[in-house]
């Protein structure tokens, strides 16, 4: 049986990593990340993006700066770039597609 919530969570993590990788070397504010994720999951929320950013931060795949104004600014880490570029194995928790080339 498929767990739709798990698939969604893990896919959002992958799309966040892709977004941050494309934003290198500057990084991106949470609004840009949310807009990207909403292109796939229209009902995504800022809270959902923050939760998955927090997960990626715990795994050392992203860095988040919480500004005094309340905005979050994120950047991908070296290890996060390696995950996106398929140069290292990706542990469970991120819906990275299988490499086909």
SS3 at position 12: helix
Please indicate whether residue 53 or residue 2 has the higher confidence score (pLDDT): 53
- Condensed to tens digits (0 to 9), the pLDDT of residues 8-51 reads 999 999 999 999 999 999 999 999 999 999 999 999 999 999 99
The CATH number of 4-84 is 1.10.10.10
13, 30, 43, 87 from 69: Cα distances, Å? 24, 13, 25, 36
Contact 53, 33 (CB under 8 A): yes
Q: What is the pTM of this model?
A: 0.94
SS3 at position 40: coil
Hey, what are 72's tokens?
């979050």
Q: Is the pLDDT of residue 95 over 70?
A: yes
Domain segments of the chain as ranges: 4-84
Q: Is the pLDDT of residue 1 over 70?
A: no
Q: Is 73 left (phi over 0), alpha (psi -120 to 50) or beta?
A: beta
Q: According to the model, what pLDDT value does residue 99 have?
A: 87
Going by their DSSP bridges, the two strands 28-29 and 72-76 should be labelled as antiparallel
- Condensed to tens digits (0 to 9), the pLDDT of residues 49-93 reads 999 999 999 999 999 999 999 999 999 999 999 999 999 999 999
User: In this structure, how many other beta carbons lie within 10 angstroms of the beta carbon of residue 97?
Assistant: 9
Contact 101, 45 (CB under 8 A): no
Q: Give Cα 13 to chain centroid, integer Å.
A: 4
């Amino acid at each position: 049986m498929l767990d739709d919530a798990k698939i969604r969570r893990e896919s959002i993590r992958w799309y966040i990593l892709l977004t941050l990788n494309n934003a290198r070397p500057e990084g991106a504010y949470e609004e840009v990340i949310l807009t990207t994720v909403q292109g796939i999951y229209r009902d995504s929320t800022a809270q959902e993006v923050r939760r998955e950013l927090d997960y990626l931060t715990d795994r050392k795949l992203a860095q988040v700066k919480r500004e005094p104004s309340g905005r979050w600014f994120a950047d991908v880490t070296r290890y996060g770039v390696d995950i996106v570029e398929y140069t290292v194995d990706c542990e469970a928790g991120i819906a990275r597609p299988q490499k086909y080339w």
